[in-house]
Amino acid sequence: MSELIHTCYRVLDVDRSVAFYEKLGMEELRRMPIRDEAINVFMGFPGDGPRLELTHNFDQSEPYEVGTGYGHIAFTVDDLDAALARLAEEGIEPESAPYTVREGGSRLCFVRDPDGYRVELIERG
């Protein structure tokens, strides 16, 4: 039986990316050097395993192209307004104001991480 264990992003600044995902409730679980070429940082939620691998290639100085096939990853948050306030402290604003897809549905919005990857924030409840 197979299991999806993590997603990997290539990032330009590991510490900046770690700080972004920490604001969404993740924590750094470990750093794994890859020879002299790169470093992988594994992020996860408390009590869970690594769910996001951030890879920084030391020879990369230009932003990566996200591509047209990538959509987004999604996080649930207890309080969408509080999550957006934490991100705003870092200069990260939502693409648009929070909204619902249908009447009675959860509030949601999209932000972009420091490398331009879209992240959907969905309020629980």
Q: What are the residue numbers of the active site?
A: 120
Decide if 24 contacts 77 (C-beta within 8 A). yes
Q: Compute the 3-state secondary structure of the chain and give helix, strand, coil in percent, each to the nearest 5.
A: 15, 35, 50
Q: Of the candidates 56, 54, 34, 58, which has an alpha carbon nearest to the alpha carbon of residue 44?
A: 54
Q: Of the candidates 45, 25, 27, which has an alpha carbon nearest to the alpha carbon of residue 86?
A: 25
